[in-house]
Chains A and B, each alone.
Chain A
Amino acid sequence: MFDNFPLWPARASAGAANVDALYIFLVLLSAFMCAAIFTLILVFAVKYRRRAGVQAEQIEGSTALEITWSVIPMIIFMFIFAWGAAIYFQERTPPRGAAEVYVVAKQWMWKVQHEEGQREINELHVPVGRDVKLVMTSQDAIHSFFVPAFRIKQDVLPGRYTTAWFRATKPGTYQLFCAQYCGTSHSSMIGDIVVMEPAQYQAWLSGGPAVPLAESGQKLFSDMGCITCHRSDLQGRGPNLVGVFGKPVALEDGRSLTADENYIRQCILNSRGQVVKGFPAIMPVFQGLLSEEQVNALVAYIKSLGAPQPGQTTKTAAAVTPQEPKVQ
C-alpha cells in the first residue's frame, strides 16, 4: 500500500486480503483500546494529581463495572476468534482438484517436484489463478514453508507429509523463507515463488525435457520390484493399489486407516505395523533405500491409479468406517 513505507507485503494470493482484513481490524481495535486507556490514564494523572487539601476518594469497586468490562471484551474476543477461525479453515482446506507440488526440505534448501515432472531448487514456478497444493516433507530437521506475499506458512516435518495450498493472483516474484530454525544456514534457506501468466507458464513447462512425476513413479515402481507383488490382477502377494488412495484400509490387527499420503509413505518406508488384512507381512523395508523425492514419485504414481473398472474386483479391504490417521 504505502510504497515507501509498506506496512504489509504484497497481496499475491486469493487469501491474502482476508488475512489483511482481520489484521487491519485488529490494528484499529488495538489502537482504539490503547488510545482509550492511555487517554484515561493521562486524564486521571493530570486531573487527580496530588493537590494540597484534596484527599483521594476510597472506592472499593463496582461489580457491575467488573462484569461489564469482562463480558464486553469476551464478546469482542469471540468475534475475533470466529473470524480468525474462518480464515484458518480456508487456509487448511485445499480445494479439490488442486495441482500438486511435492516439496522436500533439507538443510538448507527447498527441492520442488512438479506433477508435470519439472524439478526446481529454491524456486517454484506457478501459473496465476491455479490452486496449488504443496505436499511437503523434510529430510532432516523441522523447516517451515513461508511465503509472506501469500500469507501462508506451514511447518515441514521429517517423517510425514504436511500440506499447504494457495492460489496466486498476481504475476511476480515473491519471497520464500524457511520460518523454522533449522541450523547454520537457516537464514539462507530462502527462495523465489515465480508467478507467471498461464501462457508463460506453459512455455516454461516445455522449456526442458521432463518426465511427469507419476510416470517417474511408475518407472520406479517397476525398477524397485513393487510391481512383482502389487499387481493389478488377483495374483499379487500384495494388495492391488488401483484406486486405493483416499480409501479406508483394514489392517491385519483389526484397525482401519485411511490411505492418505502419509499412510502410503509409511508403507513404502516400513510397512511393519500397518500390514493390510489378508496379506502376508513380506513387504521389504525401503527406509534408507529411497530418497524423499523417489517416495514422492511413488506416491504420485499410486495416487494416479484410478478407480477399478466395473467387473474387475480388487483384493483391497472391504469398506469400513474410516478412522483418522494419527494427527496431533
Chain B
Amino acid sequence: MSASSDSPIAVESHSPALRHHFADMEQQKQAASLGMWLFLGTEIMFFGGMFCAYLIYRYWYFNEFAASSRTLDIWLGTINTAVLICSSLTVALAVRAAQTGKRKLTVILLLATLAFGLAFLGIKGVEWYNKFEEHHIPGASFHFEASVPQHPGVPINSQHAQIFFSLYFAMTGMHALHMIIGVGLFCVLTFYAWKGRYGPDYYTPLENAGLYWHFVDIVWIYLFPLLYLIDRKK
C-alpha cells in the first residue's frame, strides 16, 4: 500500500540557498511568499484593533476629533506620505534590480529606501516634539482648548480630545515601531545584498521584506487622512 519515490533533491546539486526540507527552490519561494502574506494578514488584524477604536470614537466625538486633527501639521504629514511612497518605489526597484542581477544598483536602491525610512522617522520625531511643546501628549500635562469647527465659541470637550491624541500616539507610535523594525531588517538585507547574496536565482528575502515595507507604507496611507485630514475644509 505504501508507494514512494526518490526525493528530487537526493542527487543533483542545488542552490546553496535551498533549505533541505523543501523539494526545490520553487516550493521554498512559494512557501516564503505565502508566509509573508499571512503575516501581513495578522498585522492588518493587529492595527485593525486600533482602527476599530478610532472609528468608534470618531463617530461619537467627531467635533473633538476634527478640532484635534487640525492641530496636526498637514505639511509635515504630506511630506512624510511622499517620503514613504518614494521609499516603496525604491524598494520595489531594488527587488527588480536584484531580479536582473544588478548588485550595485540593488544596494544603492536599498540604501535610498533606508534613507527615506530614516527621514520619515526623523520628521515624525519632529511632529511628536511639537505635540509635546503644545501639551497635546495625553497624561498629566495634557491641555487642549478649541472650538467646534465652524462653530466658534462652542468649546469642545477636552477629555474627548485627549482620546484623539491617545489614539494618535498609539497608532503613529505602533506604525513607527514597525518602521524601525523595517529599517533594521533592511540594514541586514542591504549588507547581504552588498555581499552578493541576492541575484536572479534567489531574491526571495528582498521580495518578502519589500512586501512588509509596502504594508507599513499602506498603513500610513490610511493613517494620514484619518488622523490629519478630518474636516479640513475651510
Give the interface of A toward B (CB within 8 A): 252-253, 270, 272-273, 275, 280-281, 326
Contact = CB atoms under 8 A, between A and B. Distances in A.
B52 interface: no
B156 interface: yes
A253 B154 contact: yes
Given A272-B157, A281-B155, A253 B60 contact: no
B160 A253 contact: no
Nearest to A266: B157
Contact of A270 (B63, B64, B157): B157
A272 B153 contact: no
B151 A272 contact: no
Given A252-B148, A253-B148, A273 B160 contact: yes
A272 B60 contact: no
Given A253-B148, A273-B61, A281 B157 contact: no
Contacts of B60: 326
Which of A272, A275, A280, A281 is packed against the most chain B CB atoms within 10 Å?
A272
A17 B2 CA distance: 64
Nearest to B160: A273
B154 A252 contact: yes
A281 B158 CA distance: 13
Given A253-B148, A272-B156, A272-B160, 12 more contacts: A252-B148, A253-B62, A253-B63, A253-B154, A270-B157, A270-B159, A272-B158, A273-B63, A273-B64, A280-B153, A281-B153, A281-B154
Contacts of A273: 61, 63-64, 156-157, 160
Contacts of B151: 252-253
19 contacts: A252-B148, A253-B62, A253-B63, A253-B151, A253-B154, A270-B157, A270-B159, A272-B155, A272-B156, A272-B158, A273-B61, A273-B64, A273-B156, A273-B157, A275-B154, A281-B153, A281-B154, A281-B155, A326-B60
B9 to A, nearest CB: 37
Interface string B190-202: 0000000000000
A253 B160 CA distance: 15
B140 to A, nearest CB: 15
Interface string B140-167: 0000000010010111111110000000
Interface string B49-61: 0000000000011
A327 to B, nearest CB: 11
Contacts of B153: 280-281
Contacts of B159: 270
Interface in B47-104: 60-64
A253 B61 CA distance: 11
Contacts of A253: 62-63, 148, 151, 154
B26 to A, nearest CB: 36
B38 to A, nearest CB: 31
A326 B61 CA distance: 11
Nearest to A326: B60
Contacts of B155: 272, 281
A292 to B, nearest CB: 18
- Which are the 6 A-B pairs with shortest beta-carbon distances? A273-B157, A272-B157, A252-B154, A281-B154, A281-B155, A253-B148
A216 B151 CA distance: 37
